[in-house]
A = this chain, B = another copy of it.
Amino acid sequence: MVSLEASPFDRHYGLEVEEATDELVRGRVEVRQELLQPVGLVHGGVHASIAEALASLGTNVGVVPEGKIGLGQSNHSSFLRPISEGTIHAVARRRHRGRTTWIWDVELADDEGRLCAISRVTIAVRER
């Protein structure tokens, strides 16, 4: 399995995965000083990284057992509302399971459940 324990960058910014199937992946990141951009908000790259990680993980849950691998192809993140403290709660839902690409929609919310970012991630499926 491609496990997240083996993902150094996701550990580096602090992703914890709570649930991972090939249809839905949940994770969370506690906001810490080192995740902020200059004016004290969570850096957009953190949101994009979380989305990328969850979509990639969910795809690999599905395709690794078939001898394939999922690699990020496109990540389109929209930032709706700043977060500066608390926890980022992320849920990735699969929208498309094609032969060569899977597409996921990821929602990132704050502790009050307010939507802070949404991301559409396309994962390419390749032979290993």
Contacts and interface: CB of A to CB of B under 8 A. Distances in A.
Interface residues on A, range: 35 or more
A106 to B, nearest CB: 12
Interface string A19-47: 00000000000000111111101111110
Interface of A: 2-4, 6-13, 33-39, 41-46, 48-50, 52-53, 56, 60, 69, 71-80, 82, 95-96, 98, 100-101, 103, 105, 115, 118, 120, 122, 124
A75 B77 contact: yes
Interface of A is mostly: mixed
Contacts of A34: 8-9, 11-12
A73 B76 CA distance: 11
A17 to B, nearest CB: 12
A74 B37 contact: no
